[in-house]
Amino acid sequence: MPKLSDARNRTRVLLARPGVIKPASARSLDGRRTMAKRPGVIVVGGGLAGLACATALLEARVDAHVLEAGDAPGGRVRTDSYEGFLLDRGFQVYLTAYPEGRRVLDLKALSLQRFIPGAKVWRGGRLHTLADPLRQPVTAVSHLFDAPGGLADKLRVLELRQLSTSGELGDLWQRPQQESRHLLRDLGFSEEMLEAFFTPFFGGIFLERGLTTSSRMLEFVFRMFAKGHAAVPAKGMGAIPEQLSAKLPSAALRMRVRVEEVWGHRVRLPGGEMLHADAVVVATDPGTAASLLVGMPAPRMNRVTCLYFAAPEPPVEGPWLTLNGEGRGPVNNVAVMSEVSAAYAPPGQALVSVSVVDDAGSADSLEARVRAQLTEWFGPAVSAWRHLRTYAIPEALPAQPPSALVEPHRPVRLAAGLYVCGDHRENASIDGALASGRRAAEAVLLDLGR
Ligand SMILES: Cc1cc2nc3c(=O)[nH]c(=O)nc-3n(C[C@H](O)[C@H](O)[C@H](O)COP(=O)(O)OP(=O)(O)OC[C@H]3O[C@@H](n4cnc5c(N)ncnc54)[C@H](O)[C@@H]3O)c2cc1C
């Protein structure tokens, strides 16, 4: 079997005229004739990027076939049904202002259930309410001097909102960038506001609590919160990939197929089966993309652990995000998912989702440490909570320090006939994954002369 680097060299030789796809031969890598099918375009990976790519190709009447290693599409966005509860594989939210989501998803059909704008913050032995002053003026004013950060910090939030919502979205990705913590300090936010709000809030989104993620990402996310809502589909985040995959004919989606090698227009499956295509789009997670494609960097990945508990009563009433504003203990944020959408829990029970980011403690004792911390917040009722499942996700999100976003929309066309998409090509979000898939489809269509 030739090495992949040899394969890439051969691929370049095959590409006689840049920009024009030469038909792949119907021979296998070892030169023998195979029963290879020619499915048009092969998309490796059925996460949001791969599904967005395949649906865009099909809309342009180009045959696309998705090969997915898992037992269902969705990749990092999936929901498990467990004892009548809906467990997203890690706490995630959809931001209704996502521009690509608005283009490709039927948001109405997802029946999005919103969180309240703002947050509850645990600090100094009690829960404070931090309301969005523009969306919830009454709550915001009534809690003005109660919430962490003084009046000056509240005014700076308005300044940050003004900064992140001004101008075109495309311009935002070209702005000077620095680590988010430096932008927040330059804007004059107090250390109290950083510790009590920004660290747990953006820590739960970027999945790192140092706020070292690019300020472009912070401005993008803040803009999305300012222009829309955080929400989940009524029946769980998995409804998003389900909606996209339902657009594909069933024969276009093959599950439990792990592609082992990509060789120009061909892919090798376990057992040596070869598939030939006019084009191949690698839409895997970033680490797998780096192993399949020569020269593709493997970004550092941020991790998160999500614990689910069944509670007889919701510890917080209403669709609030609750943040750890004290900077100690394993818990970063808590959400009572059944308060956001009733379908997340069976009648009479509440589903509590707890996210742990950057935890230095032992994984074995995590549940006990989480319970101890939440007992401080919510009292002895926590002892009656039943642990349902823990999802430890070591490769949840590509890290996005400023260096990663120097080029905000990274190339998706590697050569004529070979493309790549995924959140690592755009920004680490549902919207970034969807946009990268659409861009890859556009590049394929251009090369195919469509
Ligand atoms: C816990 C968590 C919380 C998050 N929170 C948010 C949030 O609140 N808001 C937000 O916008 N984003 C969030 N994200 C990020 C968002 O989910 C991802 O950016 C996005 O889903 C990535 O999609 P993708 O298609 O690029 O990659 P993936 O979802 O990783 O899809 C890649 C697919 O390729 C398949 N695959 C891998 N190798 C092979 C192979 N060899 N052959 C065939 N198939 C293969 C995988 O099985 C997978 O299905 C979160 C992510 C996680 C994990």
Give the pLDDT band of residue 130 (cuts 50, 70, 90).
confident
| Residue 219 assigned as binding residue | no
Q: How many domains does the chain have?
A: 2
Q: How far is the CA of 152 from the centre of ligand 1 (A)?
A: 39
Between 155 and 114, the higher pLDDT residue: 114
Q: What is the CA radius of gyration of the chain?
A: 23
103 and 205 co-located in one domain: yes
Query: Which residue has its alpha carbon closest to ligand 1 atom 13?
Result: 429
125 and 216 co-located in one domain: yes
Q: Who lines ligand 1 at CB under 6 A?
A: 44-50, 67-70, 75-77, 90, 92-93, 258-259, 283-285, 288, 304, 393, 396-397, 422-423, 428-431, 433
- Percent of the residues in the chain that have a pLDDT greater than 70, as a whole number: 88
Residue 257: which CATH number? 3.50.50.60
Report if residue 403 sits inside a domain: no
115 and 223 co-located in one domain: yes
**Per-residue tokens: 368:** 């006990």
Measured distance CA(267)–CA(263) in Å, rounded: 6
Name the DSSP letter for residue 423: G
Query: Which residue has its alpha carbon closest to ligand 1 atom 38?
Result: 284
86 and 70 co-located in one domain: no
102 and 154 co-located in one domain: yes
226 and 148 co-located in one domain: yes
Q: Count other Cβ atoms within 10 Å, centred on residue 379.
A: 10
Give the pLDDT band of residue 102 (cuts 50, 70, 90).
very high
Amino acid at 150: G
Residue 150: which CATH number? 3.90.660.50
Atom number of ligand 1 nearest to Cα 93: 8
pLDDT at 17: 25
Q: What average pLDDT score do residues 196-212 get? A: 96
Q: What average pLDDT score do residues 176-195 get? A: 96
348 Cβ neighbours under 8 A, 6+ residues apart: 312
Q: Which of 218, 224, 285, 400 to mutate to test the pocket of ligand 1 (most atoms within 8 A of CB)?
A: 285
Q: Which of 266, 284, 306, 391 to mutate to test the pocket of ligand 1 (most atoms within 8 A of CB)?
A: 284
Confirm if 338 and 349 have CB atoms less than 8 A apart: yes
Atom number of ligand 1 nearest to Cα 51: 25
Q: How far is the CA of 75 from the centre of ligand 1 (A)?
A: 5
390 and 354 co-located in one domain: yes
358 is in which domain, residue-wise?
80-233+301-398
310 and 209 co-located in one domain: yes
Measured distance CA(314)–CA(87) in Å, rounded: 16
Residue 298 has pLDDT above 90, yes or no: yes
Q: How far is the CA of 50 from the centre of ligand 1 (A)?
A: 10
Report if residue 379 sits inside a domain: yes
Q: Which of 290, 296, 280, 255 is nearest to 57 (CA)?
A: 280
Give the pLDDT band of residue 396 (cuts 50, 70, 90).
very high
64-67, strands of its sheet edge to edge: 253-254, 64-67, 41-44, 279-282, 418-420, 413-415
Burial class (CB in 10 A: 0-12, 13-18, 19+), 35: exposed
383 and 443 co-located in one domain: no
Burial class (CB in 10 A: 0-12, 13-18, 19+), 249: exposed
